[in-house]
Amino acid sequence: MLLKKDIENNVVFVSRNYFSIDKRRRIFRVGSLNWTLGALPENFDKLQCKVRHGPELYDCDFELVKGNLSKEKESLFVGETTKNVAVVRLTEDDQGIAAGQFAAFYKENICLGSGVIINSCGDHSFPVCSKALEIARLKDKSELREPVKIKTYDNPCARKSKNIGYWSNPGNSVDRSLVKWHPPESNWFKLNFDGASKGNPGTAAGGGAIRDHKGNLIVAYAGKMGIQTNHFAEALSVLWGLRVARAQNIQNLIVEGDSLNIINLLNQSSSPSWNIKDFISESISISHTFNSIRIIHTYREGNKLADAMANYGININFTIWDNDSIPNQLHNSIHADLHTQTISKDML
């Protein structure tokens, strides 16, 4: 079974839903290339390509190129040589390219290497996921334990991509040892949100923070909510954060929280309960006003500043701070979130 061989060769595939007017593609670019022997193969004759889970292998032409990427995508591949970018041409159409984030290359069913699909040629809206790059650069991908899913949603009436996506690790056997907060790529901002309820239901509050690609605080917020459930607090907290981000005129936003239920609701993959329906509806409406947005699930270890904000909000009315006005104890949480080493956790 090829999937087993893929794991043995340190290759992992990511599947996602991605809208495109033309999903059937033959030509695409691949970056962040890694070769199993540590060096380029002697030749690329009779090479085959695999772009997703399943048994499909396609004959392909493989050509190394000199970058030719947009500035935004180049920023994702800082420090990599131009030899780490290739153009791949399949000999037949494959709709799976529209759903694939990785490509792996084989000769006689032996894996030679793999990389991240950057874009389909002629489709500059093809989204590159920062989490996919993070996975690609893991030295030991067996730590992922299960296939990883990235879901994305798009407005089918628009050619320009307005990407709404989330990252989550599936199943109950996820290794959390690699979880920490990561800054977004250049020209993006990240909103982390959290809610807290002392009793569930009990005294509730929410809070969050927006930071740039260097980890600098742009704005933070927190406030009490009365007697509510955790679910209510999480839903109102993300709505507060999206309102704040919109007021800051941010265009490219990553929304990250540790409540998978709320993440699923924002991605419209489940239906909200009556008491938070209006919060979710407004949050989705606001999300469509950004140029690009990604909605990502993380664990508590990657959401510590937002957790601190929510707990601080228990005793105060809704308040917004910038980097200069935020209370000292919360400012310390910013520094810890950015510089703390990866926390080791037992597997769930």
Tens of pLDDT, residues 252-294: 999 999 998 899 899 876 788 899 999 999 999 999 999 999 9
Q: Is the pLDDT of residue 314 over 90?
A: yes
Structure tokens at 327: 């209370």
Judge contact between 127 and 50, C-beta under 8 A.
Answer: no
Predicted pLDDT of residue 237: 98
Residue 73 maps to which CATH number? 2.40.30.10
111 phi and psi angles, rounded to 5 deg: -75, 125
- Structural domain tally of the chain? 2
Indicate the residue among 150, 179, 205 that finishes a domain.
150
Side chain identity at residue 314, one-letter code:
I
Tell me which residue has tokens 């690009």.
292
Predicted pLDDT of residue 283: 96
Q: Check whether residue 7 and residue 146 sit in a common domain.
A: yes
CA distance 188 to 254: 7
Q: Is the pLDDT of residue 94 over 60?
A: no
Judge contact between 300 and 307, C-beta under 8 A.
Answer: yes
Q: How many CA atoms lie within 13 A of 284 on its CB side?
A: 20
Judge contact between 283 and 293, C-beta under 8 A.
Answer: no
Tell me which residue has tokens 């037949």.
92
* Stated pTM of the model: 0.54
Predicted pLDDT of residue 11: 54
Q: Where is pLDDT greater, at 96 or 247?
A: 247
Which of 103-112, 174-183, 268-277, 296-305 bottoms out in mean pLDDT, i.e. has the lowest?
Answer: 174-183
Q: Check whether residue 21 and residue 129 sit in a common domain.
A: yes
Judge contact between 234 and 259, C-beta under 8 A.
Answer: yes
Residues 6+ apart with CB under 8 A from 151: 16, 17, 165, 166, 267, 269
For residue 25, list its beta bridge partners: 94
Q: H helices of the chain, where?
A: 2-8, 71-74, 130-136, 230-247, 260-266, 277-287, 304-312, 328-339
Band (211; pLDDT cuts 50, 70, 90): very high
Q: Is the pLDDT of residue 164 over 70?
A: no
CA distance 53 to 7: 12
Structure tokens at 110: 């032996």
Predicted pLDDT of residue 331: 83
CA distance 288 to 127: 16
Helices 277-287/230-247 angle, 10° precision? 30
Q: Check whether residue 146 and residue 201 sit in a common domain.
A: no
Burial of 27 per CB tally in 10 Å (0-12, 13-18, 19+): middle
Q: Is the pLDDT of residue 26 over 50?
A: yes
62 phi and psi angles, rounded to 5 deg: -130, 125
Predicted pLDDT of residue 134: 60
For residue 346, tell me if it sits in a domain: no
For residue 14, tell me if it sits in a domain: yes
Q: How many other CB atoms sit within 10 Å of the CB of residue 234?
A: 28
What would the pLDDT profile of 41-51 be if each residue is shown by its tens digit? 777 788 888 77
For residue 328, tell me if it sits in a domain: yes
For residue 214, tell me if it sits in a domain: yes
Indicate the residue among 150, 176, 204 that finishes a domain.
150
Percent of the chain having pLDDT more than 90?
32
Q: Check whether residue 82 and residue 210 sit in a common domain.
A: no
For residue 171, tell me if it sits in a domain: no
Structure tokens at 149: 């899913």
Mean per-residue pLDDT over the chain, rounded: 72
Q: How many other CB atoms sit within 10 Å of the CB of residue 38?
A: 7
CA distance 210 to 192: 6
Q: Check whether residue 196 and residue 324 sit in a common domain.
A: yes
Predicted pLDDT of residue 135: 59
Q: Check whether residue 330 and residue 236 sit in a common domain.
A: yes
Predicted pLDDT of residue 216: 93
Q: Check whether residue 133 and residue 217 sit in a common domain.
A: no
Judge contact between 177 and 170, C-beta under 8 A.
Answer: no
Report strand pairing: 102-107 vs 202-211. unpaired
Q: Check whether residue 106 and residue 213 sit in a common domain.
A: no
Band (140; pLDDT cuts 50, 70, 90): low
Q: Is the pLDDT of residue 166 over 80?
A: no
For residue 178, tell me if it sits in a domain: no
Q: Check whether residue 208 and residue 334 sit in a common domain.
A: yes
Predicted pLDDT of residue 28: 75
Judge contact between 47 and 60, C-beta under 8 A.
Answer: yes
For residue 180, tell me if it sits in a domain: no
Q: Domain range for residue 31?
A: 2-150
Q: Is the pLDDT of residue 104 over 60?
A: yes
Q: Check whether residue 100 and residue 10 sit in a common domain.
A: yes
Residue 216 maps to which CATH number? 3.30.420.10
Give the pLDDT mean for 17-31: 54
Q: Check whether residue 141 and residue 233 sit in a common domain.
A: no
Band (329; pLDDT cuts 50, 70, 90): confident
Give the pLDDT mean for 14-41: 60
Q: Check whether residue 196 and residue 135 sit in a common domain.
A: no
Indicate the residue among 150, 177, 201 that finishes a domain.
150
Q: Where is pLDDT greater, at 44 or 231?
A: 231
For residue 172, tell me if it sits in a domain: no
**Of 147, 261, 256, 162, whose CA–CA distance to 211 is shortest?**
256
